[in-house]
Amino acid sequence: METLFWCFLIGGALFTIVTVFIGDVLGDWFKPIVVAGAGTAFGGAGILLLKYTALGNGAVFAISLLIAVAAALLVLFGFVFPAANSEVSMGFSMQELEGKIGEVTIPVPETGYGEVMIKLGAANTIHTASSFDGMPLSAGTRIVVVKVSDGVVRVSDLEM
């Protein structure tokens, strides 16, 4: 019986290492971390119960199985499901920049291009900019995005 538990303990650890590399390939229907955690918990609990209790093989097997199910549920509800819902995307549409406030980082001439930094969420984004009113904007000037066209933000001085 001890050999069975050692096999589950070692097998679960190896399975965990392998699934780190191929876990995404297996898809959403199979959560390898839950299976590996349950197998490892089953093996570890069985070894400890055999060594440190006077329970018979059947009782050790049943208790180890219950511990494995509890570990699987803990991993599933404590880690897998919350992690699946925690994805954050920094993607945005250029059209969302209209009305945003930023700062000139590279001066924007009357008829050319410069660069502005606009805060989006927790990040700052840098964009090519041109003057909407035909007025030059120096570095450090606070601006507002008036229009976006062809990937260029058309900006105006915010304090004017």
Rounded Cα gap, residues 88 and 85, in angstroms? 9
Q: Which residue has the higher pLDDT, 16 or 46?
A: 46
- Mean pLDDT of the 86-99 span: 77
Rounded Cα gap, residues 13 and 37, in angstroms? 8
Q: 32 with 69, same domain?
A: yes
**Which H or E run contains 83?**
helix 81-84
Q: 13 with 49, same domain?
A: yes
- Mean pLDDT of the 31-35 span: 78
Q: 52 with 117, same domain?
A: no
pTM: 0.46
Structural domain harbouring 73: 2-84
Write down the mean pLDDT value for the chain. Answer: 86
**Which H or E run contains 79?**
none
Is 70 exceeded by the pLDDT of residue 59?
yes
Amino acid residing at 71: A
Q: Which residue has the higher pLDDT, 159 or 113?
A: 113
Q: 114 with 52, same domain?
A: no
Residues 40, 13: contact at Cβ < 8 Å?
yes
DSSP summary character for residue 110: S
Q: 104 with 43, same domain?
A: no
